[in-house]
Amino acid sequence: MHRTGDLYGQFETLEQQKESATLGMWTFLITEILFFGGLFLTYTINRHTYADVFSFSSRTIKLSWGAINTVVLIGSSLTMAMSVWSAQVGKKKLVTIFLILTLILGTVFLGIKGIEYHDKYVEHHIPGASFDMYFCTNNPGACNLTTEELAQERTELKELEDKVGGPVAVNAHSQLFFSLYFGMTGLHALHMIIGAGLLLWLIVESMRGRFSPRWNTPVENVGLYWHFVDIVWIYLFPLLYLIDRH
Amino acid sequence: MSTSPTTPAVHQLPEEHYLNSTYGLRSWLLTTDHKRIALLYLASVTFFFFIGGIFATMIRIHLLTPNGYLVTPETYNKLFTMHGVAMIFFFLIPSIPAVLGNFLVPLMIGAKDLAFPKINLLSWYIYLVGGCFVLYSFATGGLDTGWTFYTPLSSVYSNSAVTPAVIGIFINGFSSILTGLNFVVTIHTMRAPGMTWFRLPLFVWAQYATSIIFILGTPVIAITLLLVGLERMFHLGFFNPALGGDPILFQHLFWFYSHPAVYIMILPAMGVISEIIPTFTRKPIFGYTFIAASSIAIAVIGFFVWAHHMFLTGESTYAALAFSLLSYLVAIPSAVKVFNWTSTLYRGSISYDTPLLYSLGFIGLFLIGGLTGLFLACLGLDIHIHDTYFVVAHFHYIMVGGAVMGYVGGLHFWWPKITGKLYPEFLARMAAVILFVGFNLTFFPQFILGYLGMPRRYHNYPPEFQVLNVMSTAGASILALGYLLPMLYLTWSMRYGKVAGPNPWPATGLEWRTPSPPPTENFDVTPVVDWEAYDFKNRPDLGLTQPSGPALSPAHGDD
Ligand code: HEM
Ligand SMILES: [Cu+2]
């Protein structure tokens, strides 16, 4: 199908094209909800079955990074919304600026996620052959933890063992937690990376001045996607970081 | 009895149409024309049908004797698994939506194409990539988990090539999702002026309902199989009890998709039947709104019955009770359709052309399949027949007797539109009858076998079951002939068939108001619809002599 200006050949009018694209994006997001839904269900059931081990494992993740990331991501939603607004009112320069800001914030998020993953790698909390919940307590100094923190962890591990029946179970069940942690945040990060790619494309198009009050559906739709990915994080953060932290 | 062509005039193919507008491999592999993409799908699903068919043949030959000499038990496990995977994920699920749906939805609603033509092409490539992974798995060690991939067999213990297979099915899922998304948006936003929701052909309603399942169900199987793959590759424990995981959770997630998926397979076929029956009875379909609404009802209720596959896993009695009840409920909209089709036939001026023969076959076989589904949904009875050949017969009656019959019938019905040529009518009727006979001989004995206690998925059986198994294998060879015939004469007709003309039956849909084969843009001018669906009476353009018989007179004010 050929394209005349902004209008693709299968459509009669720009309105029809816009309506189709928007409906398509919403439909896609519904699919995404169910895609993440499978993971959320798996998490919820295991969280219920292994409540104690899950809350212990959750406490070994640093709260600060997660909290900072939540703020960063909410900020990026704001800049994204601003760029959609700028496109709608025809401020072409601002569109580009806000898109770039969104991209920067998204990248900061991914960077921080990288730091967190690296911490988990150092602590041997990555599921697989070398997974070991006792690595830090057995090798003081290898992990970035204070003596008090280590002592605290030792007592908690002891209590857990009594509850669930020994270190093997502790390791198995916390490995479940971290499988889900990496599965969920990994899938989320993958969505962020795809989103960053989309932003890059929008930035190039926007610098060419393609978005106007008449036609800005791509900005709007990537915006929808970006907000969706943010909302997923808004659920992930309490589920994974805030269990039992008062 | 048989249809006389609309006008006795000799038809000619249009000078330029979608098949000859451009030439060369590139023009096909990079096409965004929904009609060409439909043909790409036609070729690929036929290929997988062959692959699945070869495995089925080997299974049936092996089961000729109680101890089966053809293959080892391990190979037998692989045969039925690869048969199921090829047939379900790569043939039956895409068959009607991606071939007939792709071709017809835009034509039927009067659009130039689907809303997202490039995504449509992309979905075919995704299908191919997924298919390649699965073929790779078949070729390097095969797959022996059953098409159901139950854990921890699939995620830990199986020694076959599970990982590439789940990756392939995962990838293939996105092809379904994108097709569903495309259809939903297209049906919402691309309808021609005057084409209101309740003037839509029922085939389009069926595609819409199917697309809902594609969109809501497929992502769940995708994430589930992804977890199985990760579990296998990195020794994680989501579904492995040895590591604290929950194998029953896998079954819930699997069936949350796979029960709705059985409706992905049957709903489009029901749509086909709803087009064929009015055409060959010359009557508006009885109860249009009921048929349309029942498609949506099936899609929705279908999401709430999945645990009827798990009655014997020790799920709670109350859950089992609820799922049993809901399974009975889903039979209601199915029955509504059957009643409406038969009411349409009543006092219609029926012509027993090939597509109608397939539709009649469909009604009978779907009826048996659906009713035996109720046996299985009955808690007490299911204890006896669960995991026996009774289940195998049940779902083959629906999937092969129902869905595949609908698909082949639909191919015949729209073949003149797709290729511009007529197929040889006599041979086609013969093939329809052969298929019907072969099918029943193959699968009816399996009901009895199952009831007598022959478990499914076993490579051997006690000698007293041999007679029924030999009957089944004999039927399968007749069935194979029944599939081979259409493949041969349909291909033959592309070159040598009589020219069909725009509306050979005649039928009422918009797709018949454009030349066969249609031009690339589908319609020369955007059509405006000012008639109701299946209205033969107010359509002088169909060339039906008026008044003609009871069908056209308002004798029994249906609808
Ligand atoms: C009319 C409504 C239907 C009902 C009440 C029903 C009920 C059931 C039940 C209870 C089972 C589980 C039996 C067991 O494992 O013990 C079953 C299995 C099955 N049904 Fe149906 N069914 C219906 C329609 C369909 C349709 C429309 C299809 C396919 C197009 C289908 C395909 C299957 C398949 C594939 C299985 C076996 C799956 C496996 O274990 O491998 N059913 N059905
Ligand atoms: Cu089911």
Residue B240 dihedral angles phi and psi, to the nearest 5°? -105, 110
Whether residue B15 is contained in a domain is answered as no
Residues with CB under 5 A from ligand 2 (ion): B 259
**Closest alpha carbon within chain B to A14:** B189
Contact A176 B245 (CB under 8 A): yes
A179–B contact, CB cutoff 8 A: yes
Q: How far is A200 from chain B (nearest CA, A)?
A: 21
CA distances B204 to B170, B201, B280, B288, Å, are 27, 5, 19, 12
Query: How many whole angstroms from its chain centre is CA A115?
Result: 14
- Run of H or E including A3: strand A3-4
Q: Give residue B9's pLDDT.
A: 61
Mean pLDDT by 10 residues, chain A (246 residues): 81 93 97 96 94 93 94 97 96 96 98 96 92 91 88 92 90 94 96 98 94 93 97 96 80
- pLDDT, one tens digit per residue, over B364-398 is 999 999 999 999 999 999 999 999 999 999 999 99
Whether residue B25 is contained in a domain is answered as no
ipTM: 0.93
CATH (domain of B465): 1.20.210.10
Q: How far apart are alpha carbons B459 and B471 in whole angstroms?
A: 17
A176–B contact, CB cutoff 8 A: yes
B115–A contact, CB cutoff 8 A: yes
pTM > 0.80: yes or no:
yes
Q: How far apart are alpha carbons B311 and B383 in whole angstroms?
A: 8
How many CA atoms, within 13 angstroms, populate the side-chain half-sphere of residue B150?
Answer: 7
CA distances A139 to A118, A132, B348, Å, are 17, 11, 85
Whether residue B9 is contained in a domain is answered as no
Domain that holds residue B358: 31-539
Q: Give residue A202's pLDDT.
A: 97
A13–B contact, CB cutoff 8 A: no
Interface test mutation site (partner A, options B243, B250, B522, max chain A beta carbons within 10 A): B243
Residue A140: CB atoms within 10 Å: 12
Closest ligand to residue B373's CA: 1
How many CA atoms, within 13 angstroms, populate the side-chain half-sphere of residue B481?
Answer: 14
Structure tokens belonging to residue B441? 């001989």
Whether residue B332 is contained in a domain is answered as yes
Q: Give residue B29's pLDDT.
A: 96
For chain A, domain boundaries: 17-241
Cα–Cα nearest to B527, from B155, B115, B65, B107: B107
Q: Facing residues of B499 across strands?
A: B421
Q: What is the pLDDT tens value at each position of chain B, 559 positions in all?
A: 344 444 456 788 999 999 999 999 999 999 999 999 999 999 999 999 999 999 999 999 999 999 988 999 999 999 999 999 999 999 999 999 999 999 999 999 999 999 999 999 999 999 999 999 999 999 998 999 999 999 999 999 999 999 999 999 999 999 999 999 999 999 999 999 999 999 999 999 999 999 999 999 999 999 999 999 999 999 899 999 999 999 999 999 999 999 999 999 999 999 999 999 999 999 999 999 999 999 999 999 999 999 999 999 988 899 999 999 999 999 999 999 999 999 999 988 899 999 999 999 999 999 999 999 999 999 999 999 999 999 999 999 999 999 999 999 999 999 999 999 999 999 999 999 999 999 999 999 999 999 999 999 999 999 999 999 999 999 999 999 999 999 999 999 999 999 999 999 999 999 999 999 999 999 999 999 998 999 988 888 887 765 444 444 333 333 3
With a 6 Å cutoff on the Cβ, whether B148 touches ligand 1 is: yes
Whether residue B67 is contained in a domain is answered as yes
Q: How far is B362 from chain A (nearest CA, A)?
A: 32
Whether residue B85 is contained in a domain is answered as yes
Q: How many CB pairs under 8 A join A and B?
A: 112
- pLDDT, one tens digit per residue, over A30-55 is 999 999 999 999 999 999 999 999 99
Cα–Cα nearest to B204, from B288, B292, B286: B292
Contact A31 B220 (CB under 8 A): no
Contact A23 B185 (CB under 8 A): yes
Q: How far apart are alpha carbons B428 and A100 in whole angstroms?
A: 63
Q: Which of A10, A173, A180 sits opposite B111 (nearest CB)?
A: A10
Residues of chain B neighbouring A30 (CB-CB closer than 8 A): 215-216
Contact B185 A10 (CB under 8 A): no
B78 neighbors B61 (Cβ within 8 angstroms) = no
Q: Give residue B540's pLDDT.
A: 82
Looking at the structure of chain B, the number of domains it has is 1
CATH number for the segment(s) A17-241 = 1.20.120.80
- Run of H or E including A4: strand A3-4
Q: Give residue A50's pLDDT.
A: 93
